Amino acid sequence: MRNTFASLSAGLERLKSWEGLLLAILVVVVVNNAVQSPVYLSVENQVNLFQLFVERIIVALAMTFIIVNGEIDLSVASVMGLASCLLAFLHEQGLPLPAAIVATLAVGVIVGALNGFWISVVGLPSLAVTLAGLIGYRGVARILIEDRSIGNFPEWFDRLGQQPLLGPFPLASLIFLVLLVIAIVVLQYSAFGRYVYVIGNNREVARYSGVRVRRVKMILFVASSTIATLAGLLLAARLGAVRGSTAEGFELDIITMVLLGGVSIFGGSGTLVGVGLSILLILNLRNGMSLVNITSNTQTGVIGLLLILSVLLPNWGQDARSRWNRRRRAGPAQTTGEGTAHGS
Amino acid sequence: MMETIKRYLRPEQIRELSLVFLIIVTLIFFGTQIEGYFSGRTFNRITTTVAIIAVVAVGETLVILTRNYDLSVGSIVGFTAYFVGTQLANNNEIAPLAAVLLAVGVGAIMGLINGVLVSYGRVPSIIVTLGTLAIYRALLVNYSGAKTVTTDSLPQWLLDLPSANLFKIGGLDFRLMVGVALALVVIFQLVITYLPFGRRLYAIGSNPEAARTAGFPTQRIVMTAYVLCGMLSGLAGFMFLARFGNITVVAAQGMELSAIAAVVVGGVNVFGGSGTMIGALLGALMINTLEQSLIRWLQISEFWRDALLGLLILLAVATDAVIINRLRNLWARSGLQARPATETPGVQVLEEAGHDA
């Protein structure tokens, strides 16, 4: 028991220091960017910057739940693409836009239920199912749009995506704020949130403790796809035109945001605070790279590097910690004996 | 009857045989639907496409057997195709062998980076290769400076390579590149069946903890699997360059998905520990036959490709989870242990090899 507590508190400590590290890097990046460009810290610039990534950030909220739960959803970017393409397709076919939006959201729920069915009911690995989804849903989007680019949305729709709605904030940012509050309350302060962590820590233990594992996973995957669909709609509104390749590769950014935030890929640990910090860091880093004329493709490469480092560095930290502990324990022999006695 | 089947076949082999059966049914079906379907052209189109995918799929199988993934293969293929293409365009005098070795070497380095991060850095493979997928592609874009490799800048021997025949039976051309791919499939099938290295891939994939406890150098083996996967992807990059000639920065983008699809449809378990090279080849063959035939039959566009791939992967994973597990239970319950695994696939390889020749 004592061991569990010890490892738990060590984990918490590590997390705290990880978030501290993120904050430190964030400050360095922001200061550097502000020096590079005088308008950098202006509200407009910051909102604009946020707006460029807001769809991915919204999906990252749902992805945090999925990864904490010990699963992964690789299909989100394709679901975003499918949503925007389906909307454009339905609108092109003559459906009024509000009806098309509702229909697309309904399809998003169905897609999530499909993913959830294979993962929670049939019991297939989420990695394989959502990899199939990554390819398949993108394929459906391509069938609908082929190699065209469809725009011609009504003016109110484009304005909703591009113009500020309340103060400096466009609709997407407001939706993000609402979802953020909901996500924090649900994940950090509700019973459902505890279930998500417990399942991520140990699925079997959760099941024997009476947690309805299947239902939780089902809800998470439906939520993930629905939110990705919503994000796809917002993306269509912001871009004003969609293609078969819309949102392609976004899963890299989204998963990086979550993992860099200190959420363990093995599930069971991580907080939305960490994810929030990593989102800010990625945004400012990308913006900083744009300021010094680094192309977006290279930026993606840097994000890929960050993704790897976000798991590699904690591993190294853990190694160093355990080596340090071993050396300390190996020192005075008596302490070792006492420790074991207490532990057992 | 049932007992005989159980004695001589393992569930995995039944799966591969049903895939062969499915391919034959597909061929017969489209033969009746499409005029002039059984022609040298169809044969050529399918085999040359499969050849490149199969080489990547062999590498991917090595990695997936160890319960890991390599999502970066598409970027490795693209990078080596572009890199070697540029070198050849700048200097047409480079010997063919040197060009191949260059491609394999570049692939090996990229595979080594993946392998070190996965095995010694203990970073989950999906994270590492999702990262390197982006990094290698970014390297390519920076290296290229937005230029493309064009066919007319390449040496003549390279342009002749795709149409070089190994031999000809009736109207069917057996291309050299197809022969190379088949040879690699057979060689690596023998490696994973007979060599200690190969058996250890299965052991690690079945139970990484047990393999470590048993004293296998798991880290080194997993790293080797990644290096081999990188080398094979590099070779595939060379084949890609030879076949298409015009190489842009998006070359082979998404090929990792086709390769994984082939491997999974071919019955290689996504959780590692089971599967064969022959299976991966059959998977690639099945997917491409279906793809090429559907495009001609329904006049559907190539835009259907991804949707079809996704569906096939899902079906394959679902069948594996539901049917193969039942078959295994059936086998286990009857108390008839199939012959040792080291023996059975080998027999099959020799038969298949004989069949190919």
Spatial contact of A46 and A30, defined as CB atoms under 8 Å apart? no
Tokens 């009736």, located at residue: B170
- Confidence tier at A334 by pLDDT (50, 70, 90): very low
Picking from B98, B74, B109, B100, the residue whose alpha carbon sits closest to that of residue B238 is B100
- In the structure encoding, which two tokens stand for residue B17, read together? 């045989």
Can you give the pLDDT at residue B319?
Answer: 81
Confidence of residue A268 (pLDDT cuts 50, 70, 90): confident
Question: How many whole angstroms separate alpha carbon A95 and alpha carbon B315?
Answer: 33
pLDDT over 90 for what percent of chain B?
42
Considering only alpha carbons, which residue of chain A is nearest residue B312?
A: A132
Q: Is the distance from CB of B56 to CB of B231 less than 8 angstroms? A: no
Burial of A343 by CB count in 10 Å (0-12 exposed, 13-18 middle, 19+ buried)? exposed
- Here the tokens at position A57 are 């950030």
Q: How confident is the model at residue B357 (pLDDT cuts 50, 70, 90)?
A: very low
List pLDDT tens digits, range A237-267: 999 999 988 988 898 889 989 988 888 888 8
Query: Residues of B near A (CB-CB distance < 8 A)?
Result: 69, 117, 121-124, 126-128, 130-135, 137-139, 141-142, 257, 260-261, 264, 270-271, 301, 303-311, 313-314, 317-318, 321-322
Domain count, chain A: 1
Residues of A in contact with B133 (CB under 8 A): 252, 304
Burial code (b: 16+ CB inside 10 Å, e: under 16) for B5-22 equals ebeebbbbbbbbeebeee
| Whole-angstrom distance, CA of residue A91 vs CA of residue A101 | 9
- Eight-class DSSP state of B338: P
- In whole angstroms, what is the distance from residue B76 CA to residue B136 CA? 7
CA dihedral for A244, B130, A130, B10, sign (positive or negative): positive
Residue A265 structural domain: 2-343
Q: At what angle do helices A213-239 and A191-201 cross, to 10 degrees?
A: 110
Measured CA to CA, the distance from residue B322 to residue B328 in angstroms comes to 10
Residue A138 pLDDT grade (very low, low, confident, very high; cuts 50, 70, 90)? very high
Report the residue of B71, B119, B122, B135 to disrupt the A interface, i.e. the one with the largest count of A CBs within 10 Å. Answer: B135
Q: How confident is the model at residue A336 (pLDDT cuts 50, 70, 90)?
A: very low
Task: Give the integer Cα–Cα distance in Å for A45 and A52.
Answer: 11
Amino acid letter for position A48:
N
Rounded Cα distance between B289 and B309, Å, is 12
Lowest mean pLDDT among A15-29, A66-80, A295-309, B94-108: A15-29
Work out the mean pLDDT of chain A and round it to a whole number: 86
Tell me what the mean pLDDT of segment B28-36 comes to.
84
Section A129-142 average pLDDT: 91
Q: Tokens standing for B253?
A: 């983008």
Phi, psi for B46 (deg, rounded to 5):
-70, -45
Residue A151 CA neighbour count, 13 Å, CB half: 6
A10: domain CATH number is 1.10.3470
Spell out which residues of chain A touch residue B301, defining contact as CB-CB under 8 Å.
143, 146
Q: What is the mean pLDDT of residues A218-239?
A: 96
Q: Which residues of B touch A136 (CB under 8 A)?
A: 306-307, 309-311, 313-314
- Under an 8 A CB cutoff, do A307 and B303 touch? no
Q: Which of B69-78, B229-238, B268-277, B323-332 has the lowest mean pLDDT?
A: B323-332
Poorest-confidence range of A94-108, A127-141, B165-179? B165-179
Condensed to tens digits (0 to 9), the pLDDT of residues B217-229 reads: 999 999 999 999 9
pLDDT at A197 over 90: yes
Task: Please report which confidence band the pLDDT of residue B301 belongs to, taking 50, 70 and 90 as the band edges.
Answer: low
Answer yes or no: are the C-beta atoms of B245 and B84 closer than 8 Å: no
- The ipTM estimated for the assembled molecules is 0.79
The pTM of the full predicted model, rounded to 2 decimals, is: 0.82
Contact present, A277 and A261 (Cβ < 8 Å): yes
Q: What is the pLDDT of residue A341?
A: 36
Q: Which residue has the tokens 């950090």?
A: A188
Q: According to the model, what pLDDT value does residue A16 have?
A: 58
Distance CA A156, CA A161 (A): 9
Name the more confident of B299 and B317.
B317
pLDDT at B335: 61
In angstroms, rounded to a whole number, what is the distance separating the alpha carbons of residues A335 and A341?
A: 10
Percent of chain B surpassing pLDDT 70: 92
Residue range B266-285: mean pLDDT, rounded: 89
Beta bridge partners of A166: A169
Residue A202 carries which DSSP code?
Answer: -
Mention every residue, 6+ apart, whose C-beta is less than 8 A from residue B156.
none
- Report how far apart, in Å, the C-alpha atoms of A307 and of each of A67, A253, B210 are: 14, 9, 29
Confidence of residue B102 (pLDDT cuts 50, 70, 90): very high
Average pLDDT over residues B234-254: 91
As a whole number, mean pLDDT of residues B250-278 equals 87
**How large is the average pLDDT for residues A225-237?**
96
What share of chain A has pLDDT > 70, as a percent?
91
pLDDT of residue A218: 96
Cβ-Cβ contacts under 8 Å, B317 against chain A: 124-125, 128-129, 132
Query: Mean pLDDT across the stretch A322-330?
Result: 82
Q: Which CATH number fits domain B11-356: 1.10.3470, 1.10.490, 1.10.10, 1.10.20?
A: 1.10.3470
**pLDDT at position A326:** 84
Provide the number of CB pairs (under 8 Å) joining chain A to chain B: 134
Adjacent-strand bridge partners of A243: A149
Q: Which of A85, A111, A135 is nearest to B314 (CA)?
A: A135
Please tell me the predicted confidence (pLDDT) of residue B356: 37
